[in-house]
Every structure is written in C-alpha cells, then in structure tokens.
Structure 1
C-alpha cells in the first residue's frame, strides 16, 4: 500500500503533467488563433492563393498532385451576413493554367504600395474568390486590423471591412494548398511548417471557413498547414511591410499581438 509520501509524490507528478499539457494547449491556441473569423473565433482569414510551396522560389518537392486545367468551386453561405454587400464568385470552369493561372495585384495602402503575385495553380477557388472581391471593391477603404510580432508569428492581417477581425463576405469555402496535401486524420496536419517571409495566405476560423480575411507574412513564421497559401509579396511590398512592422503594434490582443501602431488603410486593390 503506498505511503503518504508516495501518494504526495504521485499527486505532484500528476499536477506537473496537467500544467505542462495546459501550457502546450495554450501555446497551440495562441499559434492557431491568428485572426477573427466568421465564427467569432480569431484565426487568419485570407484569400488563399496557391504558391507552389511555403517558401519563395523553391523547386516543388512536395507530394501534391497537379490540378486539372479547370475546376469547379463551391461557396457556401455563412451564418454571419456579409460585412459589406457583395456577390458570390462564379463557380464553374475556374482556370488553373494558362493566362488566368497567375495574377498580378496592386494594393495601394496608406503605408505604401504592396504588390502581390497570386498563383491559382494550387488554390484556384481561393484566388477566384479574392479576384471577385477585388473586382467588387470589397477591400477598398478597409483597414489591416491586426499585426503579430511574437516569436514564430510575424504577420499583418487584412480583409475585414469591420476592422474587428470578425467580418467576412457572407460565404465560406474549402481550404486548399497546403491543407489539401494531408489525408483526413493525418497527425502531420497539426504540426507547424514554415510560412516564409513574403507569403500571402488565408485566415480562417477552422477547417474550410475561408472568407475574405488574409495575412501577409513579413517575417519567417511557423503555423500548421491549415492556412491556404495563395501568393507572394513583391520586394517593394516587403519594404512597406517592414515599415509597418517597425512602428510596432499596441499589444491589445496580448503581448506581441494587436493593432498596428500606425493605422494601415487599403485605399484600393486592383488586378493589373
């Protein structure tokens, strides 16, 4: 029969395990909760555009299979109404190759220009949605409401007309690259991977809750592959992001997480 001292030691070990597990869950929540979603949970929601990988300029060594020349997309009505009146994107015959496979986009912001190259070869439904929102001037006059500056997560989040992190376009759509590289239930899908400086990705509130919010990575970051990558930022755009980051954020969302100290307004976005 265990002695009182043995019971106390066992209880202490159990408490230590509980505290360690709690800390691990807290770290995971902080990492995953990148921005407000249409579900009211804060996670990154952005227009995902497939970049061949997570890094800029690498050769494709991933296990992904090539998409067909065109795909059909599904955009489901969300429980939350659109933050700004907008029509759903078209759904049929979305090109993944040819002239429509890459889009050059210019963001004119109050902090300076940010050029994007979107590649729908890996995330055609995300790019299609983003292009539709751009064409309807959904992003014009909106602010980038969140910036993170913590270890392992350096992003500027935009795309919510309400500026609160909870707004969306009134519809959601499925995750694409790199989330679609993992079979259902694969534990690897929970493991952080590099989201390199210059990546543009979607924010979301959980699997397949993409809407309009997106984030721009200004410093190498680590995230689970749950956020659709849809493009890259050009060099002048990275200089603009560096200027925004240098001004810091107000820690209103916790240490290293808050609104940019210098407000960032998207004056307009245009497809070149």
Structure 2
C-alpha cells in the first residue's frame, strides 16, 4: 500500500517536473522570439532613421546649392530714393532699379547722337550697381532726346551728359542739376590709376559721396581729377566725335561755378541703349 502511494507520488512529481520544464522551455523560446523581433524592429528603425537623415541632409545640401546658385553672380545694390515732397522739377522719376544686379559679364552702351554713335564697353564685375541703374534708366527712355549740357576745355577735358532737364529747344537755367529720383554709392574708383581718368573713360558725375545718379562725363583728353567718380566704362568707338565737340569749345556759361559751359557744337542723345549682358 505504502509503496504504491510512493510510486504514485513519484510519478506525479515527475509529470510536474516535465510540465515545468516544458513551460520553462516555451518561455525561453518566447523570450528569444521577442528579443529577435525587437532587435529586428530596432534595426529597421535605425536603418530608416539613417536613410531619412541622409536624405534630409542631402536635401539640405541641394537646397543650399540652389540658394547659393540663386545668389551667386549677383550683388545687392542700394538705390536711395529721394523724398517725393519738395522734389525739384528737373528730377525725373522712373522708379527704382532692382536691388539685385548681375556682377558678371560685360555690356555695351550705345549713345545714338545727332553727330553719330558713341559706343562704350562696361564691365559688370566692376560696376554692377551703376550698370544696373543705366540699364533701368535706358529701358525707361530716360536719356532719350537730351542734350549734353556741359563741356570743359581747360584743366580737365570732359563732355558731360545725362541731365533730363537739358531738353528741348535752347538751354534751360536748370541744366546740370537734373537726374533720377534716387542716388547710389560710387563704384570702381580709380584710386590706383595714374592718371585716374585717361582719355576714353566714361565716368559718373556726382555732387558728393553717395549722390551718383544719371549724369556722366566722357573724358576726351587726360584729366587730373581726384578719384572720386565711378569709372563706368571705356569708349570703344566715337571718340573722334567727342574730340570734335571739344575742339569747337564752350560758351563759358559755367565758368564761375563748376567751369566750362554749353558746348558750342551741340550734342543731342537721341537714344541711349544697353545691350544684354554678355559672358
């Protein structure tokens, strides 16, 4: 009797131990499976995160490249508009040029005059803002049918043009004071050149620092001017016409002020054009 019960108890313990062992084995398998699945999930997340990061950074690089490309080759220019209230009548308002101007390539400036064409070459790398202003003004017909209002034959040799008030029959008393409704800073000052303004140079007139507008002068003989005026470009053809005007002399109308006077051989700009940017 006793031995039978002991055998039964032993068999029960054995079954229990087998069940416990099976449960333990199943639990280990579940843990292993969960660990594998968890590791795989983490790996997927890591890979996905890496791909996203690489894509994002790559996209930023592309954006940066595009942004650089959109600004590369351009200069930020400042055109200071004069207050509208109290503007003198000789100021001609044709709006402002774009602030971003190309600073690469060259342009051809052509003055169609009553004496024939005068052509000059402008280097955009040196005068992006001034060339941009000229392009804007030319597109508005700002210079068309205006007279070159001043000639200087003593001390310096220059023919000055670009005043929209020097128009019509005869000369106005306001000659030399007209311009656009904005001014700009000087560019390409010839501080290292001797002479600063040799024959053939076209430079911008001003009434002091930061007042460059539309008036310009063509140098028809080496002139000892202080290097305070933007060198716009160089005449490539038509200098013989300017020299003819210089040889004819002036009427000394500005002798007591800035010097010189109206050229006796009148020069009328029928049209000023600026070519597309080349190069």
- TM-score strictly above 0.5: yes
Equivalence for 1:211: 213
Unaligned runs of 5+ in 2: 1-71, 167-174
Partner SS state of residue 240, structure 1: helix
Does residue 73 of structure 2 align to residue 69 of structure 1? yes
**Inter-partner Cα distance in structure 2 for 1:143 and 1:77:** 25
Equivalence for 2:178: 167
> Offset of 1:69 from its aligned partner?
2.8
| CA contact 1:102–1:120 (8 Å) conserved in 2 | yes
- Structure 1 residues 195, 212: closer, same or farther in 2, change over 3 A? same
- The alignment of Structure 1 onto Structure 2 pairs a total of residues equal to 190
**Inter-partner Cα distance in structure 2 for 1:240 and 1:113:** 9
> Offset of 1:242 from its aligned partner?
1.1
Partner SS state of residue 233, structure 1: strand
Does residue 72 of structure 2 align to residue 106 of structure 1? no
**Inter-partner Cα distance in structure 1 for 2:109 and 2:204:** 16
> Offset of 1:243 from its aligned partner?
1.2
> Offset of 1:95 from its aligned partner?
1.4
**Inter-partner Cα distance in structure 2 for 1:192 and 1:202:** 18
Partner SS state of residue 176, structure 1: coil
Equivalence for 2:51: none
**Inter-partner Cα distance in structure 2 for 1:223 and 1:73:** 26
Equivalence for 2:7: none
- Say which of 119, 139, 145 aligns to 2:143: 139
| CA contact 1:202–1:214 (8 Å) conserved in 2 | yes
Equivalence for 1:199: 201
Does residue 225 of structure 2 align to residue 178 of structure 1? no
- Say which of 233, 236, 252 aligns to 1:234: 236
| CA contact 1:192–1:225 (8 Å) conserved in 2 | no
Equivalence for 2:254: 253
Partner SS state of residue 131, structure 2: helix
> Offset of 1:221 from its aligned partner?
0.5
> Offset of 1:120 from its aligned partner?
1.8
> Higher helix fraction: Structure 1 or Structure 2?
2
Moved over 6 A (4+): none
- Say which of 104, 119, 123 aligns to 1:115: 119
Partner SS state of residue 222, structure 1: coil
Unaligned runs of 5+ in 1: 1-67, 183-190
Equivalence for 2:102: 95
* TM superposition score normalised by structure 2: 0.64
CA RMSD of aligned residues (A): 2.1
Q: Which has the higher contact order (CA 8 A, sep 6+)?
A: 1
Equivalence for 1:85: 93
Partner SS state of residue 250, structure 2: coil
Equivalence for 2:48: none
> Offset of 1:201 from its aligned partner?
0.6
**Inter-partner Cα distance in structure 1 for 2:265 and 2:103:** 37
| CA contact 2:195–2:222 (8 Å) conserved in 1 | no
* TM superposition score normalised by structure 1: 0.65
**Inter-partner Cα distance in structure 2 for 1:156 and 1:120:** 23
